[in-house]
């Protein structure tokens, strides 16, 4: 068996389930068993995706990415600072703990009408709701990480004359980084989901708006193209995040 055949076989064994789904989808879509609007062939979706990629998908994708990542960045800053302060400052824990306990179980998408009422349908309500939906998982994970730091590390630093501020940034934060990145990894797909669904409900551009607009006018290939675009974005962002995580946490992996 040649090396090329081995590579092809390895790819097939790694993605055989996905390949089976793709082939079955194409066969069912072309057979007419399912109406075209409900399940167009994947080849038609791919052709439409390529045709509208630059003029339609790209600007809407950039808008969705901007809203998701802007809210995610705000949530990361607020959540990390909140979690660290709750773990090390008794007054901060007393103040924020009821807020986190109340806000964490709330499904963010149930607040879409309220954010539309308060802030309208522009970028601001979408970014703020993404921030709200992501901040609590990050804060809780950061808090757990900061609380789980080995006390011997903190005592050793104090014995060497390190002040509280340097202990926070030189001991506690590095030791809590795996937990912080866990919270960020949980929050990243949440940010995309919230931005996407908010766009479906409120409009204002973005892939969510494009999908619901295509559904209203029975443009099934464009609808699935928008869905494919958000899947690709989520996959790429997750891979980028994993690269960043491995770069910062190489010591933890070893």
Give residue limits of the domains in the chain.
78-248
- pLDDT in the model for residue 253: 57
Those residues whose C-beta lies under 8 Å from the C-beta of residue 127, and which sit 6 or more positions away, are 67, 70, 71, 74
| Cα–Cα dist 46/60, whole Å | 18
Give the E-state strand segments of the chain in sequence order: none
- CATH superfamily placement of domain 78-248: MetI-like (1.10.3720.10)
Whole-number average pLDDT of the chain = 85
pLDDT confidence of residue 152: 67
Q: What 3-state DSSP class applies to 160?
A: coil
pTM for the structure as a whole: 0.86
**Is 250 a residue whose pLDDT tops 90?**
no
Count of positions (residues) in the chain: 254
249 pLDDT more than 80? no
Helix (H) or strand (E) holding 193: helix 173-202
In degrees and rounded to multiples of 5, residue 93 shows phi and psi of -65, -45
Determine the straight-line distance between the first and last CA of the chain, rounded to whole angstroms: 36
Contact 42, 26 (CB under 8 A): yes
């Amino acid at each position: 068996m040649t090396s090329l055949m081995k590579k092809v076989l390895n790819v097939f064994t790694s993605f055989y389930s996905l390949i089976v789904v793709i082939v079955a989808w194409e066969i069912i879509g072309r057979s007419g068993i399912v109406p075209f609007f409900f399940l167009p062939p994947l080849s038609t979706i791919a052709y439409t995706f390529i045709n509208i990629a630059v003029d339609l998908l790209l600007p809407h994708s950039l808008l969705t990415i901007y809203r998701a990542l802007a809210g995610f960045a705000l949530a990361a800053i607020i959540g990390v600072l909140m979690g660290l302060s709750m773990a090390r400052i008794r007054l901060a824990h007393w103040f924020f703990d009821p807020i986190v306990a109340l806000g964490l179980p709330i499904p963010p998408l149930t607040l879409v009408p309220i954010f539309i009422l308060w802030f309208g349908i522009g970028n601001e309500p979408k970014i703020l709701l993404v921030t709200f939906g992501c901040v609590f998982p990050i804060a809780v994970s950061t808090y757990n990480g900061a609380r789980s730091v080995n006390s011997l590390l903190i005592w050793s630093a104090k014995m060497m004359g390190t002040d509280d501020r340097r202990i926070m940034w030189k001991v506690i934060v590095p030791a809590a980084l795996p937990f912080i990145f866990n919270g960020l990894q949980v929050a990243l797909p949440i940010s995309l989901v919230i931005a996407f669904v908010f766009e479906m409900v409120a409009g204002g551009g973005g892939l969510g708006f494009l999908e619901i607009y295509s559904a209203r006018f029975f443009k099934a290939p464009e609808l699935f193209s928008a869905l494919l675009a958000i899947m690709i974005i989520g996959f790429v962002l997750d891979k980028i995040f994993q690269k960043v995580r491995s770069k910062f946490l190489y010591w933890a992996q070893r």
